[in-house]
Structure 1
Amino acid sequence: MNVKEFILDYLAYFGIGGLLLSSLVEALGVPFFPGGIMVILAGFLVARGYMTFPAALLATCTGFITGSALAYLLGVKLGGQVFELGGRLLKVTPARLAKARAYLGYSAPGFVVFGRFIPGISNLTPYLAGVGQLNPALFLALTGLFAVCWATLYLALGVFFEKSWAEVTGRLQPFLLLGGLLGLGLYLYLIGRRKKVGGC
């Protein structure tokens, strides 16, 4: 049995509850956990009638927001220790940790949204938002926005490309990375420009 079949069997057996749990684990940033792939494959099951799109979307968003909130609270409680623990537990290099810390210090809201698309940093996003004491309501609002967009996109891809999953997943990641980097760059540019204008 290959990975695709194993995940499909898991999702078909546990249904909406399994999808919710998978999304929660994905949001916690567990290394090498195929959360995105699982959401896409859940779209396969939607296409096959095992679950409805609204139910799958609600489960994915609920799990992701809950996992992100737990990670945020850990960041608040642990503070700077997150940077040390993150390197060991989440397999993030010191250089990437330093880059994440710089992004967070410059623009926490932009980091919460666009940092999710950057490999090696995405795992730490909610933890670092907690470390940076980002307003909880703002964090949840931004996380909810990301979760809805992410879940809708991945489920829709699964529904639409049910029979060509390998090609889709292989081509998807570079575009998401590029989009995340461009979005973060644009956001930081606008923030910097606003500060420059305000300082004149």
Structure 2
Amino acid sequence: MAEWVQNLMDSMGYVGILLLMILENVFPPIPSELIMPSAGFAASRGDLNIVMVIVVGTAGSVLGTLPLYYLGRVFGEDKLVKWADKYGKWLTLSGKDIKKADDWFDQHGTKAVLFGRLVPGIRSLLSLPAGMSEMPLPKFLIYSAIGSAIWASILAGAGYLLGENYDRVEQYVGPAGYVVLGMLAVAAVVWFVRRKKAQS
């Protein structure tokens, strides 16, 4: 994958970075932890400009959030509430739970979008609840852009500084993402157990 990413950037330059970052949000198996450090390495060689790498990477990341955001808008809270009331008992999920989750996102959505963009594994998925809770598009884009710019700067900067060893960035960022995902999984299990106890 690393060689394919590098070849695409070598042949398409900034357009390649833009396309890869859009795809990374729609198809998470293409990781930004590989794309942006590779672009940073290309900038360290003088092939690209580091500022343009960050700007284009951020733009691609933000554009890539839109498909899932609009998917959330299309289905919306009402349809999900109806679905949960009809089928959600198998997941111990009710329409009331969907409403509570939506209310939480209404209160904390900006922070979730901003900081969630820095977390590998869930960064692209946050667009779905943002759309579902009907977060205004301008607000969603602004917070996505800020979070994405920070993330792109960290990764591209690391690739720029590490040079030929840019592929090590993924080794350090990857485990951090697994820790966060593990914490989320534990929180989900705790919620599930408490809900079961409350129902019994």
Fold equivalence (TM over 0.5): yes
CA distance in 2, matches of 1:175, 1:31: 16
In the alignment, structure 1 residue 38 sits paired with structure 2 residue 35: yes
Instruction: Give, in angstroms, the shift of residue 118 of structure 1.
Output: 4.4
Instruction: Give, in angstroms, the shift of residue 159 of structure 1.
Output: 0.4
Instruction: Give, in angstroms, the shift of residue 177 of structure 1.
Output: 6.3
Q: Match of 2:136?
A: 135
**Deviations 1:83-127 (Å, cap 9, x if unpaired)?**
9xxxxxxxxxx79xx99x576365211221223344553331012
Instruction: Give, in angstroms, the shift of residue 137 of structure 1.
Output: 2.0
Among candidates 73, 79, 82, match of residue 76 of structure 1: 73
Please tell me whether Structure 1 or Structure 2 has the larger radius of gyration of its CA atoms: 2
Does the 8 Å CA contact 1:75/1:82 hold for their aligned counterparts?
no
Instruction: Give, in angstroms, the shift of residue 82 of structure 1.
Output: 8.0
What is the letter of the counterpart of residue 21 of structure 2? S
Identity of aligned residues (%): 22
The 5 Å alignment of 1:1-200 reads 3-28=1-26, 30-80=27-77, 101=101, 104=105, 107-118=108-119, 120-175=121-176
Instruction: Give, in angstroms, the shift of residue 54 of structure 1.
Output: 2.0
CA distance in 2, matches of 1:124, 1:59: 21
TM-score by length of 1: 0.69
How large is the RMSD of aligned CA atoms in angstroms?
Answer: 3.2
Structure 1 residues 149 and 11, CA, compared in 2 at 3 Å: closer, same or farther?
A: same
Does the 8 Å CA contact 1:61/1:144 hold for their aligned counterparts?
yes
Does the 8 Å CA contact 1:117/1:181 hold for their aligned counterparts?
no
CA distance in 1, matches of 2:55, 2:172: 26
What is the letter of the counterpart of residue 142 of structure 1? Y
**Deviations 1:164-190 (Å, cap 9, x if unpaired)?**
2343321123346668999xxxxxxxx
Choose 136-145 or 68-77, whichever is displaced more.
Answer: 68-77
What is the letter of the counterpart of residue 147 of structure 1? S
Equivalent residue of 1:107, what SS? helix
Does the 8 Å CA contact 1:25/1:35 hold for their aligned counterparts?
no
CA distance in 2, matches of 1:168, 1:15: 21
Choose 157-166 or 43-52, whichever is displaced more.
Answer: 157-166
Structure 1 residues 119 and 64, CA, compared in 2 at 3 Å: closer, same or farther?
A: closer
TM-score by length of 2: 0.69
CA distance in 1, matches of 2:64, 2:80: 16
